[in-house]
Amino acid sequence: MRETIALVAAAVTTWFASCAPALAADRLRVGTPEGSAFVFALVDVGIGAGIFAKQGLDIEKINFGGGGKLDQGMTSGAIDLSVSGNSELAFIAKGVPQLAVAMMAGPPVDMSIIVRMDQDITAPAGLKGKTIGVTSETSLTSYLALAFSEQQGWGTDGVKRAYIGGMNSAVPALLVKNVDALIGPYEGGLILESQGKARPLVGFGDMRVFITHLICASDALVKDHPDEVKRFLAAWFDTVKWADAHKAETIRLVQPATNLPPGVAAKVFDAEMPAMSLDGRFDPKAVDATMKSFITLGLLSELPEGKELYTDKFLP
């Protein structure tokens, strides 16, 4: 008799479960300035591995093709969060309606100085007085050129900067010898090396006290859906830890976005994963160094006072 009752109860429970509507996942639109970059393609890893889904999130990744367009997307309400470059801290100070909610990566290991294969520049010292192509006057690549020159003991005028845009225009400029070198993504340098055209000469991994990438949430999401911010960050850092432990699967999941050959992707993984933050905590010294870089570039005229630029309160 008891067995019969138990079987009936189980059947009824199953029937009710099948009739109950499935809870819809919360949809979040996540913007990137460059969807093909490995660090931003980790969003695809979290989606593909089902990690965001475990937090009840349905993620839509939107690639904007530049930080300026990304900021326009945030201002217009087209996205809820962004995985982006450090300049977002400056744009928060300028009024973009967002808040930095986690540090993604510290040292800029995903950037390098790239030189042509046919040059006799074999060491950093060979770049003294040379012209280095950077994206724009106020870009991260521009600051890295200045920081490199100072690190070499040449002062800020030890190299010349040429403002030549992104890699689509920078690579031709390098190959036709309009510039002696360029600062661009490490993976881009590796691809050029595999083609026998150019190669990464030196990276920036020794800039330990710095913030290269961060995660921002819109003011509206922070105010109205703070739990979704928390769940997104919990899933993000679970994704970083999962990716670190699953190299081959991570390379497979990012390939549609990065389009990197397997050998190049493996080198990028080995170089860039160690710089990814595992907890998202902001180091005040790194924030200060990053904000001062904006003063150097003229992106800000002074450091903002009394304005909240970032917070740790949503971190796991």
- When pLDDT is averaged across residues 104-113 and rounded to a whole number, the result is 94
Count of alpha carbons within 13 angstroms of residue 227, beta-carbon side = 5
For 124-145, how does the pLDDT look when each residue is reduced to its tens digit (9 = 90+)?
999 999 999 998 888 899 999 9
CA distance 258 to 204: 21
For 170-216, how does the pLDDT look when each residue is reduced to its tens digit (9 = 90+)?
999 999 999 999 999 999 999 999 999 999 999 998 898 999 999 99
- Would you list the domain boundaries of the chain? 26-108+210-297, 111-203
**Local confidence band at 42 (pLDDT 50, 70, 90 cut-offs):** very high
What does the mean pLDDT of the chain come to? 91
Would you say the CATH fold of 111-203 matches that of 26-108+210-297? yes
* pLDDT at residue 66 in the model: 80
For 256-279, how does the pLDDT look when each residue is reduced to its tens digit (9 = 90+)?
999 999 999 999 999 999 999 999
* pLDDT at residue 9 in the model: 44
111-203 domain in CATH 3.40.190.10?
yes
User: For residue 156, what are its two tokens?
Assistant: 């800020």
Does residue 21 have a pLDDT over 80? no
Does residue 15 have a pLDDT over 80? no
Q: How many other β-carbons are positioned within 10 Å of the β-carbon of residue 202? A: 18
Does residue 14 have a pLDDT over 60? no
Amino acid letter, 240: V
26-108+210-297 domain in CATH 3.40.190.10?
yes
Indicate the range of 11-25, 129-143, 222-236 predicted with least confidence.
11-25
Q: Report CA dihedral (234, 80, 34, 70) to the nearest 10 degrees.
A: -150
CA nearest 177: which of 97, 136, 121, 107? 121
